[in-house]
Structure 1
Amino acid sequence: MKSYIAAAIQMTSVPDLQKNLVQAEELIELAKGRGAELVCLPENFAFMGEEKDKIAQAEVIAQSSEKFLKTMAQRFQVTILGGGFPVPVSTGKFYNTALLIDPSGQALARYEKVHLFDVNLPDGNTYRESSTVMAGNRIPPVAPTKELGNLGLSVCYDVRFPELYRHLSQMGADVLFVPAAFTAYTGKDHWQVLIQARAIENTCYVIAPAQTGNHYGMRHTHGHATIVDPWGTILADAGDKPGVAIAEINPIRLEQVRRQMPSLQHRVF
């Protein structure tokens, strides 16, 4: 593993596939121009609209998203995480799928989100992800890479389940991905502290690309795409507008924190 620049992209995706892919390409190019070798797109980067519309277009979104990720990785010679897009299954639902692509266009890892967001919030919004999404049934993978370290996948609501990240750290993860479309209501209180907690307790870098702003109807997201170091220090925060959070992933810093705070070696249970 070497020292390198990573980018957590922040988008305001809408119910328009082509418009979203244009926005994503512009932000990937911006990240590449700032030296990024690892670029991470948020959950729902390709489409963010009503679930019925996502279901109706899922096949096209899935094919376009995967082709887009491979094309961007090769064009810009970066490793790209597509943080979540729908992949249809035979039940009529779809997997919320994260895909990691290397600079040659080859898939390094694929993960279907296992924790589904079924919540009634005090702001009047109700979310029933399970109504259209099939929960994944596989433990999230860690993708070993020579230059970028061991990369652990997750998606959004997973961040509230620390046992998932403990598994990833036990599998040797150096970097944890948390691509998200966190609600504005929960994000203002929970987003930053959850991201920092996952970094601190697993002594890993966390890269958390995000959605921000108003997408359709009453769907508002929190923003603050973030990169956090293994000590829990926020290295970059994209604020509440579309953009890019950029920071260095440094193996010397990783080793230093793990040596100073060897909590993973002290686990009893």
Structure 2
Amino acid sequence: MTIVAAIQLNSTADLAENLAAARHWQGAAAAGGAKLAALPENFAFMGKRETDKLALAESDGGGPIQDFLAQTARELGISVIAGTVPVAVPSDDSRVYAASLVYSAAGRRIARYDKIHLFDVDVDRGDRIEHYRESNTIAAGEPAYVVVPTAVGALGLSVCYDLRFPELFRALAQRGAEMLCIPAAFTQQTGEAHWEPLLRARAIENQCFVLAPGQCGTHATGRQTWGHSMIIDPWGVVLGERLDDTPGVVLADLDFDRLRQVRASLPALKHRRL
């Protein structure tokens, strides 16, 4: 059995409260047999203002959030994907990197990916327009294709808005990814319309498992996030989904023989001509 977990959270402006919630659900994942657990974007903090995260910026490799992740992975004996952690930008205290970090079951950090595509959009909710400008407080990572071997399989990293850029995921698949992790804090409006179709498309077109842990509910800013954390197989089948708008954990058993069967019987990745 190769059980993995996607954890859904409703993160607040209280760091300690969020870390306690993350620890609780990681423990539930481990108790359910998971070898790897993925946390959503902004799992440790969603403040009242976008600038609030700057006060929590950590140096690369150390800080309360990163220490928590390493310790939790080690204590539970599971690999952990930390959706995003605010990592300081050298010589720029007005922005942070949204860094997705991966820890082995021994508590050692084995990968870092900084979110490339930033959510600078205006979302029409019908009664009002919601304005999002991540670039005001987040620095875009340098374009990178991060694929890391884990105890479960080869893992390709991305974050939230990256989901809308299929070329990133094709490059990850070309570099050997068998699983794609897409931690997110999708808005309710865009999530209802696009979350599942885009996730299933990324799974199908790249013949990979997809782990998609998300934020849910209403946050300190009044922002509403979609939730619906899910795990999808390489044929586009949803193996598990968190349907209600509350924190929780989604578990699924990944069948890598099935992945190889899909790729062998429909070898689209080998048929590419562009």
TM-score class normalised by the smaller sequence: over 0.9
Report the Cα distance in structure 2 between the residues aligned to 1:85 and 1:57, rounded to whole angstroms. Answer: 9
Match of residue 166, structure 1, among 170, 191, 195: 170
Summarize deviations over 1:197-233 as a string: whole Å, max 9, x none.
0000000000001100001132110001110000000
Report the Cα distance in structure 1 between the residues aligned to 2:75 and 2:184, rounded to whole angstroms. Answer: 25
Report the Cα distance in structure 2 between the residues aligned to 1:44 and 1:117, rounded to whole angstroms. Answer: 14
What TM-score do you get using the length of structure 2 for normalisation? 0.94
| Residue matched to 1:32 | 30
Match of residue 106, structure 2, among 98, 104, 107: 104
1:11 aligns with 2:16: no
| Residue matched to 1:259 | 264
Summarize deviations over 1:220-258 as a string: whole Å, max 9, x none.
100011100000000000122110110011111111111
Aligned-residue offset at 1:60: 8.9
Q: Is the 8 A contact 2:230 2:238 kept in 1?
A: yes
| Residue matched to 1:132 | 137
Structure 1 runs of 4+ with >2 Å offset? 56-62
| Residue matched to 1:73 | 73
Report the Cα distance in structure 2 between the residues aligned to 1:57 and 1:158, rounded to whole angstroms. Answer: 23
| Residue matched to 1:176 | 180
| Residue matched to 2:236 | 232
Report the Cα distance in structure 1 between the residues aligned to 2:184 and 2:118, rounded to whole angstroms. Answer: 12
Summarize deviations over 1:127-153 as a string: whole Å, max 9, x none.
0000010100041310023x4111100
Summarize deviations over 1:26-75 as a string: whole Å, max 9, x none.
10011111110100000000001221111123249972211111011100
RMSD value over aligned CA atoms? 1.4
| Residue matched to 1:250 | 255
Aligned length, in residue pairs: 266
- Amino acid paired to 1:110: R
Q: 1:100 to 1:59 in 2, by over 3 A?
A: closer
- Amino acid paired to 2:73: A
| Residue matched to 2:50 | 51
Structure 2 matches for 1:83-94, cutoff 5 A? 83-89=83-89, 90-92=91-93, 93-94=95-96
Partner of 1:121: helix, strand, or coil? Answer: strand
Report the Cα distance in structure 1 between the residues aligned to 2:13 and 2:157, rounded to whole angstroms. Answer: 25
Identity across aligned pairs (percent)?
48
Q: 1:60 to 1:111 in 2, by over 3 A?
A: closer
- Amino acid paired to 1:198: R
Gaps spanning 5+ residues in structure 1: where? Answer: none
Match of residue 212, structure 1, among 213, 216, 241: 216
Partner of 2:63: helix, strand, or coil? Answer: helix
- Amino acid paired to 1:96: A
Gaps spanning 5+ residues in structure 2: where? Answer: none
Report the Cα distance in structure 2 between the residues aligned to 1:57 and 1:171, rounded to whole angstroms. Answer: 33
Moved more, 81-90 or 60-69: 60-69
- Amino acid paired to 1:108: I
Partner of 2:124: helix, strand, or coil? Answer: coil
What TM-score do you get using the length of structure 1 for normalisation? 0.96
Partner of 2:196: helix, strand, or coil? Answer: helix
